Structure 1
Amino acid sequence: MGHGMLTVLFPSLLALISFLHYGRAQDAELTLIPNRSLYFVGENVILLCNMNESNGENWEYELIKDGSEHVAYSEDARFEISLTFPEAGSKYQCIGRHKTDSKTKMSKNCNVAVAAQPKAQLTSLISAGGGAKLNCSVSQSPPWEFFFYRGNISSEFVSIKNMYSSATYSVKGEGVYWCRGGRGDPLYFTEYSEPVTIENTVSIKAVATMEHEWRPIYIGEVVTLRCNVAGTEWDYEWISDYDKSRKGARELKIKTSFSDYYSKYKCRGIAKHSPLTVTQWSNSVLLPLTLNDPHPSVSLTVHPNRVQHFRIDPVSISCEGFSTQWRLMRCNVHTKVCRVVGNTMNSIFKLDENDLGIEGVYWCESDIAFSNAVNVTGRDDIILLSPAVPVLEGEKVILGCRTKLPIPRINFYKDHKVIFSVAVTKPREANMVISAISKSDKGFYKCGDAQTVSLQSWVSVTAASKQDHTFIVLLLVGLMLGVLLIIFLVLISRWRKKQGNGLRPRHDEGLYGNQSSAVAPSVNQTETQTYCSLLHAHESTYESIRGRGNTEEGNPDYEYDDIANP
C-alpha cells in the first residue's frame, strides 16, 4: 500500500521540487492533435509534449492521466492514444526530465472528453416542386464530411465536404438510401444512418374496406380487411396506429386484441414488377371494438351520459347487474395500460380530476360477469357533448359543444372536416341536431374554432338487429295465418250447415207408424191428400213411390203406382 501511494504522489512531488528549484515547472506545453472539444470512441488522438527549448534531444517525457502515470518516461515526445470507451473528461499532463541535470518541466492539464460513436440521421424532405431531398446530419462536434449511399452501403453514391453539421442532397430517382459522416485524416466515420426509401408514388389511390362493418366487433374476433386497387399487378401493404407494416395479400385477417381498440388501418398497393412503385395510401378503416360481448343482465352507464366532461364536473359510473362486488376497470387509450380504478360493494363509482385527466375506456366486472365498455375523458377548456353509448339508427341525436372560452362561433367537425357552424346563443354552448341518424353519420366528431378544439369522440350508430326483424315478420305472418284459418273454418261451418238443411229428409208420421219416409219433403197439399186416401183404401195395398225430379215450377214431382194382391 505504501509503495502504491508513493507511486501516485511521486510525479506531483517531483514537479513541486522542480518548481521550487527552478521556478519554471510549467514551461512545458501539451498539444492535442487534432484539437477538439469532443472525441468519439474509436478515434485516435496525439498528445505532443514540447519543452520550448532549442535542443529537445536531452529530454525524456512522461504522460500523466488524472494524476497517475499513464506512459512511462521515454525519449518520444509524441503520445498517440486510442480512445476505447466513453469518458466525461480526463486530464492529461506531460512531464519532461532533463537527462543530465534531472531538471523537470510540467505542462498544464488538457481535458479530453470521449463520447460513444455517433450515428448519422437521414431524413426525407419534399421540395416545393414535388421532388425529394435527403438531409444527412450529425449533431455532435462538427464539422463533418457527408457521404450518401444508394442501393447498398458498400457503394458510395456522392460525398459532400466542408459542411458544418448537415448536408442536403436532391434525389433524382427512387431507391434505398443511407448516409454517414466522416472527419479527420485518416477518416473517422460515424455509424450508418437508418435507410430511407424514396418511392415512385402513382396517382392511383387504394380503397380499404372491412367486412361486416354494420355490426359491433368484439375482442378476440377475427376481422377481415380488404385492400382494393385497380388492376391485378399489385402486392399490398397494411399499417395501423399501433402496429408495424404488414406486407402480403390483399386481405388482412386480424384477431382483435385490446391494442386494436379504435385503431385505424390503411393500405396501399406495391407494384409486383417494381417494389418501389406504390399507390397512394387508402382511407383509414376504424375498428370500433366492443370490449367483449357483455352479459345481458350487466350494464354500465355514465352520469351524465356523454364521453367528454370538464374535469371539475361530478361524474359517476354505475354498474348494474346481479353482482354485489364490482371492480371498475380502466385502460388508457394511448398507453394500452389497464388497471383497477376501484372496488366497491355498491354499484356507483365517482371519478375524480385525476381519473378524468386520462382518456380511458371503462367497464365493470365481477368474478362472474362484465359489462359493456365506454370512453370517458376530461378537459379544462372545451368539450364535445356526445353519447357515451351507441345510438340506434333513425334516432334523433343532439351533439353539443360547451366551452369555458369566449368563442363567438363554434364549428362542428366530422373526421376533421367542418360540417356545421353556428353562433353561440346559450352561455358558451351550441348544439347541432341530427334529426334521424344513419350509419353514414358514424365517425369522429369534435368542436371548437380555428384556435381551440375539443378532443374527438367516436359516435357509433347501431342498426336494428336482423333477428328482431325476423321475429316481428314471423309474428305478423303467424297472426295473419291464424285469422285466415278462423275465417276459413267459420265459412266451412256455415256452408256445411246450409247444405245439411237442404238435403236431409223430413220425418212424416202415419206411414208405417213412426218409420221415416225416404221421399223428399215439399209435397203439395193435394198430393198429400191423395197419398193418404190410397193408404186407407186397402190394407193389402202398398205404395211404391218414385220421384221423377223437379217440375218446371221447381217443386218435386212424384209418381204413384197401386199394386193389389191377386
Structure 2
Amino acid sequence: MEFRSLSVILWLIVFIHYGQTQDLPKPTLTVEPESSVFSGESVTLKCEIKGYDGWTYQWYKQDKQSRWSAVSQSEYYTVNRDTLTIRADAVIHGDQYRCSGERHDRLTSSQYSDFVTLTINALPRATLYIVEPESPVYTGGSVTLKCEINTYDEWTFQWYKQDKQHRWILVSQAEYYTVNRDTLTIREHAVIHGDPHLCRGERRDRPKVSQYSNSVALPVNALPTATLTVEPEGPVFTGGSVTLKCEIQSHSNWRYQWYKGSSRTAVSQSETNTFTIRSAADQDQYWCRGERDDRPSSSQPSNTVTLTVKGEAKAVLSIKPDKHVFRGEAVTLRCDIQWGRDTECKYSWYKEANTLYSSSTTQEFRFSPAEESHSGNYTCSGEDIGNSGYSQSSDAVTLTVTGLPRATLTVEPEGPVFSGESVTLKCEIQSHSNWRYQWYKGSRRTAVSQSQTNTFTIRSAADQDQDQYWCRGERDYRPTSSQPSNTVTLTVKDTSPEVSLMVSPSRAQHFITDSLSLSCEGQSDSTGRRVRRYTHSEKVSDCSSGWGSVTGSTCSISSLSTSHTGVYWCESESGESSNPVNISVTNGAVILDSPVHPMTEGDTLTLRCLYHDPKPSNLTAEFYKNGSLLQTQTIHTVSKSDEGLYHCKHPERGESPQSWISVKGLLRSEASFSVLSLLSRVMAASPYLLVSIILGLKCYKARGEN
C-alpha cells in the first residue's frame, strides 16, 4: 500500500517537471495568395499546429487601439476549420491578424501564432490615348484609340463609352467600331466631338484586371469651310462668261473639286480656285469642295450658287444728275448692257421710242445746257459689233426739264420814301430751302450784298439809293440758283408831308379816363383832313366812326380806355398822310411822360413819372434806359446815342410801360420818322408794347389799301 502511494507521488513529480520544462505548441500562420495581394482580391489565412490533432482554431485581428479582438464568421469573414477567408471589400492594407488552437485533451490550448500584416498592391493602371490621327481630329475622319498597360503580360482589353445619361457602356466589335487587341478604331460616322471613352485590361493570371484608364474625350475640329462666289452676280445672258471662285481660308495646297446640280461626282477639278464657264448656256446650281494630301484631306462643301442664264441682254438707261433737272443744267444719259462677255459695243439713243437721237461707241451721251424742249421719254440699245448681236431696248425713262424756281421781290414801304426813312426789300422763293440771297442794284451783275435771310434793309434812304433792285437765290444743292426776281424801283423824296398830327397832352402814354385831343395841322388849309387810327379790334377807322368826336380837323376823346391803344395819323383828301404816332393807354398807376414825336439832336430831354390819383407823397422815382438805371432824369443835349426804350419805377406805385424815344438829325425833316422807322424802334419793347408793333405793321398796310 505504501509502495503504491509512493508510485503515484513519483509520477506526479515527474509530470510536473515535464510541464515545467516542455513549451506549448505554436501555430504557423500562412497567407494565400503568397505573393502580393491586389486591390479587389480576397485573402485566405491558414493556421496549422503540428504534432497533435483535434485542434479548433481561434482568429484575432488587431484594432486601431492595438488590442486583439476575436474574428468569427460574418458578412466579411468565412471560417472553415483551419482557414479564415477575408472577402475582397474587407481586405485593408496594413491590417494584422494571428491565430491560436484549442482542444479537449491534454494541452488544451496552444500559443498564439506570429501575426501577419496584409500588404495590398494597387492594380496596374491602363493608359488610353489617341494614336491616329495625330491632333487635331477633323470631322469625317476615323479615330484610333490605344489602351496600354506597362506591367504584366497577356492582357485583353475592354472598351467603354459614356452615354447621354453619363453611364459607361461596353463597346464591342460593331458597324462603327473595330477592336484589334489593344486598339479601338471608331469609324468616321461615329466620331462625335466630346464623346468620352476609357478602357481596362483583363487576364487569366493575377492580377486579373487593371484599373480603369483615364477618360479621353474626342477633340473633333470642323473641316475648313469652302466659300463659293460667282462673277458676275445675278443673271447672265446666253453666251456670256461666268467665273466661279472657291475660297478656303485655312491651310494650303488645295485641289478644287467643282460640282453641278445634285451630282456627287465632280464636273471639273483644278489646282486653282477659279472655274470659268466661257459660254453660259445651262442654268443650274453649283458648289465646290477642297481636297489635299495632308490632313485635313478635304474641306466642307461650299454654299451653293444658282447660275441663271437669260436669253438676250437688255439695256438699262440711267440719267444723271436726276430724271428731273432744271433749265441750264448738264444732263448725261448712260446706257449699261451686261453682255456677259468682252465686246465692242455701239450705243444708240432714242427719244419718244422711234426718233434716233444719237449713236456712239461710248456709253454716255451728254447735252448742256438743258432746255424744256429736252423733256421726253428716252430709251437706248446696243449692238455687239464683234458678235453681230443686238441687245433688247431699255425701258423708257422720262426726263423732265423745268425752269428754275422764281424769286419774287417786294419792298416795304411801297411807293416813294423820304430821305432818312428805312426801306426793306424782301426776296421770296416758294420752292426748296436753304437759300442764300443775292441783292443787285441797277444794271450791275455783281451782287451789292449777300445774306442768309431773305430781307435787305436800307437803314436811312438817300438820293444815291434811288435805283432799280432785284434779287436771286443760291444754294449748295440742286437747283443751285433761282431765276432772277422782278425789279422794283426805289424813289427817295426830300420833301416832308404837308400834314402832321398834333397830340394834346403831347405824350405817348396816357391813363384810362384821361381826355385826348388829336389835331391835323399843315402848311395849307386843313379843310378835308381827318384823323384816322388802326387798332387790333377795329382795324382802320376814322374819328367820326364813334370812338371820338370831330370838330373841324380835331378829334377829341373824352374818356380813354385801353381799347384806344393804337397808331394814329392824319390824312388829307388827296391821300397825303402825316407821320404816325403811337398812343398807348394803360390802367396802371404809373406812366412815363415821354415825347410823342421824335426829338431833334441838341434838344433837352427831361424824364418825369406821372401818377394816377391819388398822387404819392414821395414823388422820387428811378428812370431806366434799355433796362439800365440812369443817374439823371435830364439829358441836356440829346444825340442819336440816346435813342432807346425808357421807363420809370416808383418804390410804391410800381413801373410804367416802356416807350421808345427817337432822335432825328438837325438836317432831317419830321417826315423822315416813317412808320417803319417807328416800328423798328419799338420791336425791342416790353410785351405791353407788342400790340403796338402789330398794330403799326397792319396800320401801314391798311394805309396803302385805303
Q: TM-score, normalised by structure 2?
A: 0.24
Greater strand fraction, Structure 1 or Structure 2: 1
Greater helix fraction, Structure 1 or Structure 2: 1
Q: TM-score, normalised by structure 1?
A: 0.29
